[in-house]
Amino acid sequence: MLTRLTDIVITVVLAFVATACGSVDSGRQVLVAGRVATFESVVSYCDGDTVAAQGISRPLPVGSSYLTAERVGVERAWNTMHMRWLPTVAIVLTVVLCIFTPYRITRVIRWIPLLLLASDMVMRWVMTGAVPITTGADTLRAIAMFAAACVPFIPREDRRMTVLLLCAVAILAATAAIMGGHPAVNPLNPTLLSSWLPVHVGLMMAAYSLMLCAAVAAIAGPVGRLTFRTIVAGEALLAAGITVGALWAAEAWGRYWAWDPKETWALVTSLVYAAVLASWGATAKRPELRRAVVALAFLAVVFTWWGVNRLGGLHAY
């Protein structure tokens, strides 16, 4: 069960990263002064911290613009299906069914939140022409999607954890819907038009989702080997995300590390969970203390994602 859970999370992350990195940065589209252009035609200067964008004299042909028939069709479908709130409503219904129906029914229903959250992300991707992970609402949806991928692999006897994790996913999806609704095409900072974006953010959000699963497990009941390995996998993804972020920073800002609040607290979060793993043996005979430590460690993730934004910095959210 543990191997299947770890494999599905890693597979989702790798598929997300591999698909996102399929395009060339210079050909990415960007909206400048109401006109569609390519990244290559817009960026006029990039040196260290400074990225300058220039206006364009003419838009790209209609066939290469945002107003393609495919994107218009997907946008109409997104509006018709009420995809802003549909995932949240479906997750709440899934929670109710998981509480009151037998496992033979819920084992199929458990896949619905992942299906809808992934569909919403893909539709937003098609509508905007860019990976939808550039805002706080986008990252919440990514965390919810990765966490939903873990739900079908929770042991059947652990119904309490299933319900609690689905409740957490519903809260994330609802918060994201409130924070950001229609995925309108907005101008992006040229620095974000990079293949590093989905790799870095995807790894970080996948790591945060595993930390969320560990915290929910600690709240639901005694934690054991499965929770330990979940934290190990999350710590590995977090370390990989920080490393990729440093490589991207060197390319975009001219240095690997700038002590930006977001990157600094990502490192602090990694050290917090390293301490949790290091203290695992010492709390073996004190299960309640272990549960408290695992649950409270998630506060570091919350502060890194939300609290640090109040300190400013170079990150987009």
pLDDT in tens, 144-199: 999 999 999 898 888 999 999 999 999 999 999 998 766 655 556 666 777 888 99
> pLDDT category, 121, cuts 50, 70, 90?
very high
pLDDT above 80 for 253:
no
DSSP 63: G
- What is the token pair recorded at 39? 């990244």
On whether the CB atoms of residues 55 and 32 are closer than 8 A, the answer is: yes
Mean pLDDT (whole number) for 76-88: 91
Evaluate whether 53 touches 32 at the Cβ level (below 8 Å). Answer: yes
Q: What is the pLDDT of residues 290-314, one digit of tens each?
A: 999 999 999 999 999 887 877 766 6
Tokens of 14: 């790798």
Residue 165 in contact with residue 101, Cβ under 8 Å? no
Query: Does residue 25 register a pLDDT over 70?
Result: no
206, 237 contact by CB (below 8 A): yes
Q: Average of pLDDT values for 83-88?
A: 92
Given a cut of 50, whether residue 205 has pLDDT beyond it is: yes
Arithmetic mean of pLDDT, 60-64: 42
* Gyration radius of the chain over CA positions: 20
- Pick the more confident residue, 25 or 241: 241
What three-state secondary structure class fits 316? coil
61 DSSP assignment: P
> Which residue in 189, 62, 70, 183 sits closest to 128, CA to CA?
183
- For 285-289, what is the mean pLDDT? 91
55 has a pLDDT exceeding 80: no
pLDDT confidence of residue 260: 86
| C-beta neighbour count of 260 within 10 angstroms | 18
> pTM score, two decimals?
0.79
Cβ atoms of 168 and 94 within 8 Å: the answer is no
Cβ atoms of 103 and 138 closer than 8 Å:
no
